[in-house]
Amino acid sequence: MSSDTRPDDLERLDAVGQPLEEPPSKRARGRRLLILVATERPLLLIMLIVVLIAGMAIFAPDTFPRPANAAVVLLDTAQTGILACGMMLLLISGMFDLSIGGILAFSGIMAGLAAKNFGFPPIPAFLVGCVWGVLLGAINGTLVTRFKINALIATLATLSVYRGGLQLVSGAGVTNIGNDFTVFGQTKILGIYSPFWFMAVIVLLFAFLVGRTRYFRQAYYIGGNARAAKLSGINVDRTVFSFFLIMGLLAGLSGALLASRLNTAVVLAGQGVELKVITAVVLGGASLSGGVGTIFGAFLGVLLMALLQNAMIIAHISPFWQLIVVGIVLLVSVGLDQFVRIRLRT
């Protein structure tokens, strides 16, 4: 019984199977544009970003549109942007990682210890952080793909384990890591600190990988219908495992980068970052049921959140209101999409 049969779709075809074009009236065109903006998340985000920038340029011409402020906003996108690439990949596959804050902090500590206590040169110390992230990601991936524990629960548990573990290793964090190690986080290129450039390269790389390569595009099939993907010959478990490794790598790199930027590995680094990243990624068009989303969208989500925060700081709006506004923006953009889709179906 095909309850999804939609004869009305076929009626809109003419004899040779071409869609019948009604002459678009002005109102119809306006309506179609509205629907497009509401359902194509990147368009909506770009619109919001443009409106926000224009508004701030008018209301705060002395502070907001200056290069120094732009550099602040862009630097603010660095950590969330890097993490959002991995999180978007997982969400497209219908997966999830709540433990990234723990991985980030733990990896920062490991990199800091390697540099300060074991005298590693900067690059090997930085790599220690990255590799540590991959290892922790491998634990998540094993729990999810091998032991079939729901990703949400598995990473909720490992978040706790990683946070506890890093304090066992180094209860006070690692301060004054050493001047050489700061090269990754404190170098300025074109007036912007290096974490932004790390993020820019990673976002471009992932946009390419997820947009064009077969291996990464498998994520859409897995998230769209895991059973059908398996029956289509896709090795679902291995692929998902590798995505957890990638998420771990990106979280580890973020941790090492943060330690380098502060010259200190902080125990509480990345506290709450997982929710911030998931907010940005969902804002960017991901769905918790998987199968949709783009890296570009994720970046726009990150950028919008950074701009909002910056705008509200400049406007002296209380930090509590900032949280409320972020929540409302998320609800409105996802709700608008759902609302228009339901209206379109009926």
- Give me the residues paired with residue 96 across strands: none
C-alpha dihedral, 133 to 138 to 141 to 143, nearest 10°: -110
Cβ proximity to other proteins: between 171 and 233 the closer is 233
Rounded CA separation 37/29 (Å): 12
Amino acid sitting at position 177: I
Cβ proximity to other proteins: between 150 and 232 the closer is 232
Neighbours of 231 (CB within 10 A): 9
Cβ proximity to other proteins: between 36 and 324 the closer is 36
C-alpha dihedral, 323 to 329 to 334 to 338, nearest 10°: 130
Rounded CA separation 307/53 (Å): 8
- Distance of closest approach, residue 341 Cβ to other proteins, in angstroms: 11
DSSP three-state, residue 265: strand
Q: Which residues bind other proteins (CB under 8 A)?
A: 1-7, 9-10, 12-13, 17-19, 212-215, 217-218, 220-221, 224-225, 227-235, 291-292
Phi, psi of 61 (to 5 degrees): -65, -20
- Distance of closest approach, residue 14 Cβ to other proteins, in angstroms: 10
The tokens describing 306, both together, are 């950074």
Rounded CA separation 184/129 (Å): 12
- Distance of closest approach, residue 221 Cβ to other proteins, in angstroms: 6
- Distance of closest approach, residue 208 Cβ to other proteins, in angstroms: 9
- Distance of closest approach, residue 12 Cβ to other proteins, in angstroms: 7
Cβ proximity to other proteins: between 6 and 316 the closer is 6
Cβ proximity to other proteins: between 187 and 289 the closer is 289
